[in-house]
Amino acid sequence: MGNMHKGTVFVAFVILLGACGEEQGADTQSGAAKTLDDFELIPRDLFFGNPTRIQGRISPDGTMMSFLAPLDGVQNVWVAPLGDFAAARAVTDDTARGINSHSWALNGENLLYRRDQGGNEDFHIYSVDLETGETIDLTPFENTRGEFIQGSYRHPDEFLLGMNDRDPKWHDVWRVNVKTGERTLVELHDRFGFFIADLDLNVRLAGEPTADGGQLIYKRDAGGEWVEFFTIAKEDALTSAPLGFTQDGTQFYMIDSSGRDKAALVLVDYETDDRTIVAEHAEADVSDVIFDPVTNEAVAYSANFMREEWYPISEDARDDIAALASGLAGDFTILGHTRDDRQWIVASDAPTAPLTYYNFDRDSGTINKLFEARPRLAGQPLNEMHPLVIKSRDNLNLVVYLTLPPHADADGNGRPDEPMPMVLDVHGGPWARDSYGYSSWAQWLSNRGFVVMNVNYRGSTGFGKSFLNAGDKQWAAAMHDDLIDAVDWAIAEGIAQPQKIAIAGGSYGGYATLVGLTYTPERFACGADIVGPSNLVTLLNSIPEYWASFLETFALRVGDPRTEEGQRFLRSRSPLFLADKILKPLLIGQGANDPRVKQAEADQIVSAMQANDLPVTYVLYPDEGHGFARPENRESFYAIMEAFLAACLGGRSQPIGTALAGSSTQVPVGAEFIPGLVEALAEHEPVVKN
């Protein structure tokens, strides 16, 4: 899996809240018009409980499959013979928050996974021996965050890992044996944000952040010393990055937006810096690239404007991409491959179908279904996502997605038959994006009777560097204007009821929610903020130490908290200082261990609202970080949020009932504002698992 790459580089305050659904077209039969009550109320746990299986990975030799699945209700790593899931066995036994990331070691004998404590993001990297069951902590230091750097089939028992045990700001490079845990120091430093090695695991490229928010790229000279190679300008810093070396080590691939707007895949000569364009797209950045696992030759790439599309690079991939495009419903993603690159694991992602994993045999051209992530969603009344482009007030193209309630669009034109209550769901990051495909929020909220709008506001990734850079220092300004422009468009088009629009989101989306209720207090009926910052000064002064290499990026693109002028600017863009302007109900969800957006960000705006005698409901999870990993906590918060939205916008809801069971839910403030919450809390005994 080390040969798969997400091309656009970004630092994201992003929460992954998605899962997957099943196709169910609009009912166009003759007879009485359908109402919302004619469609089943889908239970919340189908959206927010643990998936049955997720994150399918194929072994290097193609005989085995690994995946994440619940063990006694907690997500763990499992293995099975490829396609024989009846023979699956768990190889980890986590009993707390579960495991959410894993991969195969390239020797095919070990599985690797990451785990932190209570959401603190001090991830340790573990190796499990599939024959003996022995588990080794490969990063066995306190207060250390381990990071994967690179692996290679030339050295299948080894991996380059980053560890910040010596200095929390910087990750030194270690060469680690995944079978024994033996490690050798490769690079000790205090300046580099990333490293790229060749296929012999020799570290040969490194990136140092510059004072203006760019990157200075270094290479090794003949004597092994670091020398300056080239500079990635600040305007290209989030859309350009080296990826990996070719087989002979004389060239390396790079995602590059220098001298162009849309980032291309280029091949760079290690000696001369001569660059050859390998792949490009007219409307979007090159986003994903798949490489041959042994030669590291680029095989295929994808780009995503309104929908993700894959394109062949090597001639022998041409028929493969065509077969997948014609044989799978919805968009697809190539997730991994065997060592010989003859078998691929592919996931099909359609808005109305559960995320489904397939094994694609490149020799025969057959596509074999492996499993659905959430099979209980099959046959449920899920709703199509409609991509479209609208204009901002200054004429930027904003890619927007609309998901409509099941009864709302009798003629199937992608517009509701009459204006409806709407939830504006703002993505996190902000250096991320919304995409076409299954969204747990979009399906859940549309099933409850709301139009759901997702807007790729300026600063979102994938649409070229001009669009991304248009978001620089535009928090609570032009980035918010884009959201308001989208809301105004939805009202003018007869999609949304003007007085029944909620704003909600996580991380930056939570911040946008607070901005919506403070800077434009009349525009929204209510807001739900999950782990969103309220004060940009305190946010940037408390970023994790291991984000030191990104400090200049924040200064360039958000504001600089190190100067008085910068602090004044950041305060002018901070909802905390306009808390007295809030007119509408607010729900806040926060993890107590969040290292990115610390609990103080929620505490201080809740205190400000209390001081102004404004209604706010504050839900706190003592065993969560930046987002809610435990399914019990997810289900409890969304039960509360569902009741909150039903009271604010109308629509329908599943009662809170026993949805708090097994969760660590605490509600320090405002339980009385949520229908059914006081009663649910009276029966609730918090369960904390780290």
Query: pLDDT tens-digit profile of 262-286?
Result: 999 999 999 999 999 999 999 999 9
H/E run at residue 421? strand 420-426
pLDDT at residue 419 tops 60 = yes
Q: How many Å apart are CA 411 and CA 402, to the nearest integer?
A: 16
At 133-166, the pLDDT tens digits run 999 999 999 999 999 999 999 999 999 999 999 9
Polymer length of the chain: 690
What value does the CA radius of gyration of the chain take, rounded to a whole number of Å?
24
Share of the chain above pLDDT 70, in %: 95
Please give the residue that has the higher pLDDT: either 20 or 259: 259
pLDDT at 184: 98
To the query of whether residue 337 is one of the catalytic residues in this protein, the response is no
Q: How many Å apart are CA 15 and CA 408, to the nearest integer?
A: 29
Q: What is the mean pLDDT of the chain?
A: 94
From 127, 240, 302, 507, active-site residue: 507
At 563-574, the pLDDT tens digits run 999 999 999 999
Residue 445 contacts residue 425 (beta carbons within 8 Å): yes
At 492-505, the pLDDT tens digits run 999 999 999 999 99
To the query of whether residue 507 is one of the catalytic residues in this protein, the response is yes
Contacts of 210 (CB under 8 A, 6+ apart): 216, 231, 234, 552
Mean pLDDT of 669-679: 97
Mean pLDDT of 291-296: 96
Contacts of 412 (CB under 8 A, 6+ apart): 26, 28
- The domains of the chain are located at 385-682
Q: For the packed helices 440-447 and 631-649, what is the interaxial angle rounded to 10 degrees? A: 40
Q: What one-letter code names the amino acid at 339?
A: R
Q: How many Å apart are CA 85 and CA 89, to the nearest integer?
A: 9
Per DSSP (E only), the strands in 29-116 are 54-58, 64-71, 74-81, 89-90, 102-104, 110-115
pLDDT at residue 15 tops 90 = no
Band (31; pLDDT cuts 50, 70, 90): low
pLDDT at 62: 97
Express the helix, strand and coil content of the chain in percent, nearest 5 each.
Answer: 20, 35, 45
pTM beyond 0.85: the answer is yes
Biggest alpha carbon–alpha carbon distance for the chain: 81
Q: Show the tokens assigned to 160.
A: 């380059």
pLDDT at 3: 43
The side-by-side arrangement of strands in the sheet containing 275-279 is: 241-245, 251-256, 264-269, 275-279
From 5, 124, 626, 684, active-site residue: 626
CATH of domain 385-682: 3.40.50.1820
From 172, 349, 594, 623, active-site residue: 594
Q: What one-letter code names the amino acid at 515?
A: V
pLDDT at residue 675 tops 80 = yes
At 32-69, the pLDDT tens digits run 678 999 999 999 999 999 999 999 999 999 999 999 99
Scanning 291-413, the segments in alpha helix (DSSP H) are: 318-327
* DSSP structural state of residue 640: H
Give a three-class secondary structure readout of 175-221. EEECCCCCEEEEECCCCCCEEEECCCCCEEEEEEECCCCCEEEEEEC
At 213-245, the pLDDT tens digits run 999 999 999 999 999 999 999 999 999 999 999
Residue 373 contacts residue 382 (beta carbons within 8 Å): no
Q: How many Å apart are CA 285 and CA 464, to the nearest integer?
A: 6
H/E run at residue 46? helix 44-48
Please choose, from the candidates 393, 410, 563, the residue with its C-alpha nearest in 3D space to the C-alpha of residue 487.
Answer: 393
How would DSSP label each residue in 488-557?
A: HHHHHTT-EEEEEEEEEEETHHHHHHHHHHHHSTTT-SEEEEES--S-HHHHHHT--GGGGGGHHHHHHH
At 536-562, the pLDDT tens digits run 999 999 999 999 999 999 999 999 999
pLDDT at 354: 87
Q: How many Å apart are CA 496 and CA 505, to the nearest integer?
A: 18
At 606-651, the pLDDT tens digits run 999 999 999 999 999 999 999 999 999 999 999 999 999 999 999 9
Enumerate the β-bridge partners of residue 587.
Answer: 528, 617
pLDDT at 403: 98
pLDDT at 330: 84
Q: Show the tokens assigned to 116.
A: 């932190």
Task: For 49, list phi and psi in degrees, rounded to 5.
Answer: -75, 175
